[in-house]
Structure 1
Amino acid sequence: MKNQWIEFIFGKVTVKVSGKGIERFLNVLTRNGLQIWNVKRHGTETITFKMRLKDAKNIRHFARKSECSISFLQRSGVPFLIKRLFKNSGFLIGAGIFLFILMLLSNVIWGIEIKGAKPATEYKIRKELDKMGVKIGKLQFFVDNVEGIQRRLTNNVGDLTWVGVELNGTTYHLQVVEKNEPKKQEQLSPQNLIAKKKAIIVRMNVDYGQKAVDINDHVEPGQLLVSGVIGQDGLKPELVSAQGEIWGETWYKSHVELPFKTNFKVFNGKEKQKYSLSIGKVEIPIWGFGKHGFKEFETERNVHQIHFLKWDLPISYIHKTIREREEFTRTYTNKEAEQNALDLAKKQIKSQLDEDAIIKDEKILHKAFKNGKVILDIHFKIIENIAVGQPISDIQGDS
């Protein structure tokens, strides 16, 4: 079997020999090292056999010294296949160009479908996709992958809670979940408004119900602020859903520690682009050769699967961006550290409050500089809506 493959690679021919001195001719060939096999007799003066292509080039030299005539019946092997390919090169080139164009068109963006978005939100999404280069007619190799598209849309389109991006063939499918700003449902059941925390009342805006407190009153958690029971003496009381905003001054304490030295890792703007093809587990570089020479770096890798019609080929186009980063140490003065610690404390407090709450004032209760840190204990005065609803039941009995 091994010899057959070797003969196929180097080429072989089938030779027909006719004449009276056939046996002498065969002996001459074997004595001169020419290998022949599959010798078959066809009558008394004709035989056929197979031999190597390189030996066939010398056979006529020996045939001239004999009384035999030779002819070549069949040629096979790689050298003859290559010759046929060159002979039909026009057809092969055309077929190759056709397949290349077909594969190229299979990796072009031909459709973008967006589901679950209102017309205004869909317009914002398509506008953001245009900025990213995700548009019909663009090659998929030159746009971000689906994870990157999903991340950028979520970050840059404020109306989105979530967006799922999927690439099916040549079409991007986007499933959108919008931010729903729920309208405050009208409270149909009777309720009071009570205080959710200790405070001093600074402002009141009552829409429905009977006020139970006034400005500058000190209230405790659970204390009645606005009653949902309305009525005058001698009349049957009416139960309503108390509505309104009761703004009070509340108090919070915060403890924060901040080091004087902080280490950051930042990109310095230097980067190198590398492009390659991945075939199976083998990655073949096509651009961006050599080492990047960065000591500290971060690699962003975008992988684009290559498609042919509806099939995913085991070939991927890979774009790597290697960015150099440096470690930067920031050292604060006592004053800067104190201010940064105060800003950090404000952010922590705001994260615990409603969006409409306001920091009225802050006061540092304790300050210390030790062990390379600034340590602050801070008292905050906050203005916030302290009213929460509490259902009430029907009043029993009539007066």
Structure 2
Amino acid sequence: MKNQWVDFLFGKVTVKVSGKGIERFLNNLTRHGLHIWHVKRHGSETITFIMRLQDALKIRLYARSHECSISFLRRSGMPFLVKRLLKNSGFMVGGILFLFVILILSNVIWGIEIKGAKPATEYQIRKELDKLDVKIGKLQLFVENVEGIQRKLTNNIGSLTWVGVELKGTTYHLQVVEKKDPKKPEQLEPQNLVAKKKAIIANMYVKTGQSVVEINDHVEKGQLLVSGVIGREGQTKEVAATGEVWGEIWFTSHVEQPLITNFKVFNGKEKQKHSLFLGKIEIPIWGFGEPEFTEYESEKNVRKIHFLKWELPISYSNETLRAREEMERIYTEKEAIQRAVELAKKDIKSKVDEDAIIKDDKILHQEIKNGKVILDIHFKIVENIAVGKPIPKETLE
């Protein structure tokens, strides 16, 4: 099998030899290292055999010393195939160009479909897609991947709750979920407002209901703040108590801040690497070798190549290597204390309502130990502590 492939690669020729002394001629060929095979006799003075093309070029030199005539019956193998292809190179080049054009057109954006969006929102989406270079006629290989498009549309268009982006063949399909208009306030059942945590009343704004506490009163969790029972004795009615009752609450936070911190930053250097993947085999086409920098972060974008509606086992990869370096920051004691307070405030805000206000903070304990500033901080927070609670049945009776 191996010899057949070698013979095909270098070419082989079927030779016809006629005349007297054929046997001596064949013996002379083999003595000089010319390989022949498939020798067949046709009558007493004619034989045919196969030999390599490189040996066939020398055979006439040996035929001159014998009374033999030589003719070549058939030629086969790679050299003759290439020769025929070159002879018909116009057809070959045309066929290659045709396949190349089809391949390119199969990887161009030919459609963008948007579903679930109002006309105004669809107009915004198409404008944003233009900024991202997602346009009809643009080559898919040079457009951001589906996840990146989806993320940027969601971040840049405020009216979107969610957008799904899917690439099918040469068309991008976008499924949109818009933010809904605020619902009308629902009709509340009769209720009281009670304290959701222990606090000192700082401010009040009662829309409906009867306040039963005053500013500076100390209240416990679950204590009644605004009653939903209004009117004079004997002429009362039940309503849904609504409003805001702002209370002062307290937190103590323990925080530690190192005086020396290490962090990594990008320094602006980067390297682009472009490759083709044939299955799992990577073939670099640009950006060879390792980057000059040792510390870096890699971001790889892989795009599938399509031919008409079929996905080929070929992918184009664009990898960006961004250099980063480790930085050391040294805080003074004052800076470390300020940083620790900021971290403590961030932690406190994660534990209270969004509209809560930090009224005051006071450092209760401060020390430097093992290269760290250690603080215990007391915070005063003003927060709406009122929550609705259905009026007890015994009150209604």
| TM-score higher than 0.5 | yes
2:320 is aligned with what amino acid? T
Q: From the superposition, tell whether residues 383 and 180 of structure 1 become closer, same or farther in structure 2 (CA, over 3 Å).
A: farther
Aligned to 1:251: 250
Q: Contact 2:238–2:396 at 8 Å: present in 1 too?
A: no
Query: Where does residue 168 of structure 1 map in the other structure?
Result: 168
Superposed, which structure 2 residues align to 1:239-278 within 5 Å?
239-278=238-277
Cα deviation, residue 137, structure 1: 2.0
Change (3 A) 1:370 1:125: farther
AA in 2 matched with 1:336? E
Write the distance in 1 (CA, Å) between the matches of 2:134 and 2:51: 61
Tell me if structure 2 keeps the 8 A contact 1:274–1:319: yes
Name the structure 2 match of 1:360. Answer: 359
Q: Per the alignment, do residues 363 and 4 of structure 1 end up closer, same or farther by CA in structure 2, a change over 3 Å counting?
A: closer
Query: 1:102/1:61 Cα in 2 relative to 1: closer, same or farther (>3 Å)?
Result: same
Separation of aligned partners in 2, 1:397 and 1:162:
46
Q: Residue 314 of structure 2 corresponds to which residue in structure 1?
A: 315
> What 5-or-longer segments of structure 1 have no aligned partner?
none
- Indicate the residue corresponding to 1:79 in structure 2: 79
Which AA in structure 2 matches 1:146?
A: V
Correspondence for 1:37? 37
> 1: CA distance between counterparts of 2:200 and 2:181?
31
Unmatched runs of 5 consecutive residues or more in structure 2: none
Structure 1 position 84, deviation (Å): 0.7
Change (3 A) 1:262 1:25: closer
**Conserved in 2, the CA contact under 8 Å of 1:190 and 1:393?**
no
For 1:191 and 1:49, locate their aligned partners in 2 and report how far apart those are by CA, in whole Å: 109
Q: How far has the Cα of 1:271 moved from its partner?
A: 1.3
CA distance in 2, matches of 1:101, 1:325: 41
Q: Which amino acid aligns with 1:5?
A: W
Alpha carbons of structure 1 residues 369 and 381: separation in structure 2 relative to 1, 3 Å: same
Task: Name the CA distance, whole Å, in 2 between partners of 1:218 and 1:163.
Answer: 49
- CA distance in 1 between counterparts of 2:31 and 2:361 reads 111
Q: Quick check: 1:200 aligned with 2:186? A: no
**Aligned counterparts of 2:363 and 2:345: Cα–Cα separation in 1:** 12
Aligned twin of 1:3: 3
Q: CA deviation at 1:310?
A: 2.2
Take 2:136 and 2:351, find their aligned partners in 1: how far apart are those partners? 45
Task: Report SS of the residue matched to 1:187.
Answer: coil
Change (3 A) 1:120 1:338: farther
CA drift of 1:36 comes to 3.3
Question: Amino acid of the residue matched to residue 147 of structure 1?
Answer: E
Farther off after superposition, 143-152 or 306-315: 143-152
The corresponding residue for 1:337 is 336
Question: What is the CA–CA distance in structure 2 between the aligned matches of 1:389 and 1:93, rounded to whole Å?
Answer: 80
Q: Hey, what's the Cα distance between the residues in 2 that align with 1:205 and 1:123?
A: 43
- Kindly tell me: are residues 33 and 374 of structure 1, through their superposed partners in 2, closer, same or farther at Cα, counting changes over 3 Å? closer
Q: Contact 2:154–2:161 at 8 Å: present in 1 too?
A: yes
Letter aligned with residue 334 of structure 1: E
Shift of 1:292: 1.6
Match of 1:231 in 2: 231
Amino acid at match of 1:193: L
Aligned alpha-carbon RMSD (Å):
2.8
Amino acid at match of 1:212: V
- Counterpart CA distance in 2 for 1:131 and 1:104 is 23
Letter of the structure 2 residue corresponding to residue 8 of structure 1: F
Counterpart of 2:140 in structure 1 is: 140
> In the alignment, what sits opposite 1:390?
389
Matched with 1:299 is: 298
Cα deviation, residue 23, structure 1 = 5.2
* 1:219 Cα deviation from its structure 2 partner: 2.3
Q: Aligned residues: percent identity?
A: 73
SS in 1 for 2:84: helix
> Which residue identity is paired with 1:14?
T
8 Å CA contact 2:208, 2:239 repeated in 1: yes
Return the letter of the residue paired with 2:376: D
Which whole-Å deviations, capped at 9, do the CAs of 1:97-153 have from their partners, x for residues lacking one?
111121112222223334444545444444443333233222222223233334444
Distance 2:25 2:346 in 1: 103
Could you tell me whether the CA contact under 8 Å between 1:193 and 1:225 is conserved in 2? yes
Distance 1:396 1:292, change over 3 A: closer
Alignment length (residue pairs): 397
For 2:396 and 2:192, how far apart are their aligned partners in 1?
20
Matched residues in 2 for 1:368 and 1:34: separation?
96
CA 366–329 in structure 1, closer or farther in 2 if over 3 Å, else same = same
String of CA shifts for 1:292-345, please: whole Å, max 9, x gaps: 221322222222222222222222222121122111111111221111111222
Shift of 1:42: 4.0
CA shift in 2, pair 1:289/1:257, >3 Å:
same
CA distance in 2, matches of 1:180, 1:352: 28
Tell me the equivalent position of 2:209: 209
* TM-score, normalization by structure 1: 0.88
Partners of 1:12 and 1:51 within 8 A in 2: yes
Once the two structures are overlaid, the 10-residue window that deviates more, 108-117 or 58-67, is: 58-67
Following superposition, the deviation at residue 214 of structure 1 comes to 3.0
SS at match of 1:134: coil
Distance 2:171 2:305 in 1: 14
Moved more, 69-78 or 331-340: 69-78
SS in 1 for 2:93: helix
Instruction: Write the distance in 2 (CA, Å) between the matches of 1:102 and 1:21.
Output: 60
Return closer, same or farther for 1:371/1:117 CA change in 2, 3 Å cut-off: farther
Aligned to 2:222: 222
When structure 1 is superposed on structure 2, of 144-153 and 280-289 the one drifting more is 144-153
What code does the residue aligned with 2:252 have?
K
Deviations 1:235-267 (A, max 9, x none): 3x3222222222222222222221111111111
CA contact (8 A) 1:267 1:324 kept: yes
Q: Distance in 1 between matches of 2:370 and 2:28?
A: 102
Taking the aligned partners of 1:116 and 1:255, their CA distance within structure 2 comes to 49
